[in-house]
């Protein structure tokens, strides 16, 4: 399989790609106001949340164009609390050994109006609230009048999902990535944060989804309960000629859920340790579930925010082709080395395009 790394701004790179050429998108965009990736043109440092969401929706308009009609788009997106900068750089935080992907770099203040221009006046909105395609596409609509006070949870993933829905995407699932080893937070007036969201978006109501590829084992308790139910049925008036089919029960597998209570750890994935100089990798297991469920074997996976290449690494292991787009050449080099090492040095099928 091939992994192509395009070193460029994601919108520019996406525009160079053919329409409907991708089966599955698995990505984790830069989170708003959390860290500085140290490269011009990076997304995530927009002065207002409204501006950030506008840019994000524009990126995903291009993603929608390159995605096949039956494609799936999985987006891992984290939140933040409105605050002023904490004065500590990303490098300092990492040096303290407390770094994980949720640490607060806080390059600028996220306190203030959500939309710098203020709420849109009613005269700028159509009566129906719909754009000419018949979709509600005004991202300002959901942010009218908002102001982020110090300590407010910004609700970025939720606002993003609503903006995507307004832009015509189907929101098919809100998945909770529960972290068993979250970064410790020194707070005593709220619970510590221990999750991020993964949205499953699609271009249409019908799409390719292989539920069998990500079936989960039922727990011992469920197994015992189902067995008991079957035995009760056999002993009841309802048990008759269906005895044989009843004997094939209870099932040992069940559908993947969007969140799993402890101790069954389905989306309960440790933040994977990764020693290279990239701050925000997501765990390979997370990418595996998205790709196995959302991309046919031999299909094409895309990550428009490639980072250290987790999506490419996992796609390659799962016999899918992959295109990674990454703005920072240093991260692209990390991704290339990482995937190459994982393959045992089989560089020939991998190309980096600058």
Write down the least CB distance from residue 289 to ligand SAM, Å: 14
Write down the least CB distance from residue 116 to ligand SAM, Å: 20
> In the complex with ligand SAM, which residue's Cβ is closer, 148 or 286?
286
Write down the least CB distance from residue 209 to ligand SAM, Å: 22
Closest CA to 77 of 218, 162, 197: 197
Write down the least CB distance from residue 257 to ligand SAM, Å: 23
> In the complex with ligand SAM, which residue's Cβ is closer, 142 or 308?
308
Residue 24 DSSP SS3: strand
Paired with 311 in beta bridges are: none
* Residue showing the smallest CB distance to ligand SAM in the complex: 307
Rounded Cα–Cα distance for residues 26 and 325 (Å): 12
Residue 245: other Cβ atoms inside 10 A? 8
Helix runs in the chain, H state only = 10-15, 49-66, 90-95, 156-166, 220-235, 243-247, 284-294, 310-317, 329-342
Write down the least CB distance from residue 215 to ligand SAM, Å: 25
> In the complex with ligand SAM, which residue's Cβ is closer, 39 or 224?
39
> In the complex with ligand SAM, which residue's Cβ is closer, 142 or 164?
164
Rounded Cα–Cα distance for residues 212 and 256 (Å): 9
Write down the least CB distance from residue 107 to ligand SAM, Å: 13
Write down the least CB distance from residue 25 to ligand SAM, Å: 12
Cα 328 → chain centroid: 20
> In the complex with ligand SAM, which residue's Cβ is closer, 146 or 309?
309
Radius of gyration of the CA atoms of the chain, in A:
22
Strands (E), 87-194: 112-113, 147-148, 170-178
Closest CA to 79 of 192, 197, 182: 197
> In the complex with ligand SAM, which residue's Cβ is closer, 169 or 305?
305
Contact residues toward ligand SAM (CB under 6 A) are 9-10, 28, 30, 37, 39, 41-43, 278, 280-282, 305, 307-310, 325-328, 331
Long-range pairs for 184-193 at CB < 8 Å and ≥24 separation?
184/98, 193/79, 193/102
Rounded Cα–Cα distance for residues 67 and 302 (Å): 9
> In the complex with ligand SAM, which residue's Cβ is closer, 230 or 272?
272
């Amino acid at each position: 399989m091939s992994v192509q790394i395009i070193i460029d701004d994601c919108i520019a790179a996406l525009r160079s790609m053919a329409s409907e050429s991708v089966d599955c998108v698995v990505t984790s965009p830069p989170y708003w106001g959390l860290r500085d990736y140290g490269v011009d043109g990076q997304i995530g440092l927009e002065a207002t949340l409204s501006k950030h969401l506008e840019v994000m929706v524009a990126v995903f308009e291009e993603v929608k164009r390159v995605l096949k009609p039956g494609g799936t788009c999985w987006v891992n997106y984290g939140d933040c609390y409105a605050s002023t900068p904490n004065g500590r750089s990303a490098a300092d935080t990492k040096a303290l050994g407390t770094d994980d992907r949720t640490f607060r770099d806080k390059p600028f203040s996220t306190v203030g109006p959500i939309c710098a221009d203020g709420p849109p006046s009613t005269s700028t909105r159509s009566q129906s609230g719909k754009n000419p395609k018949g979709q509600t596409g005004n991202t300002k609509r959901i942010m009218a009048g908002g102001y982020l006070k110090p300590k407010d949870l910004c609700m970025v993933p939720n606002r993003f999902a609503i903006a995507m829905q307004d832009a015509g995407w189907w929101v098919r699932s809100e998945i909770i990535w529960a972290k068993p080893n979250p970064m410790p937070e020194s707070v005593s007036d709220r619970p510590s944060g221990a999750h991020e969201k993964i949205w499953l978006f699609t271009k249409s109501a019908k799409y390719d989804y292989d539920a069998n590829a990500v079936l989960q084992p039922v727990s011992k308790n469920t197994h015992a309960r189902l067995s008991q139910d079957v035995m009760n049925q056999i002993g009841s008036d309802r048990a008759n000629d269906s005895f044989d089919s009843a004997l094939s029960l209870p099932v040992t597998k069940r559908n993947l859920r969007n969140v799993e209570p402890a101790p069954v750890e389905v989306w309960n994935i440790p933040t994977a340790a990764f020693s290279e100089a990239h701050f925000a990798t997501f765990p390979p297991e997370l990418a595996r579930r998205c790709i196995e469920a959302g991309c046919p074997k031999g299909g094409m996976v895309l990550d428009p925010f490639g980072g250290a290449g987790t999506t490419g690494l996992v796609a390659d292991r799962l016999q899918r082709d992959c295109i990674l787009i990454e703005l920072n050449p240093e991260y692209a080099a990390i991704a290339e080395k990482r995937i190459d090492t994982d393959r045992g040095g089989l560089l020939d099928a991998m190309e980096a395009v600058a």
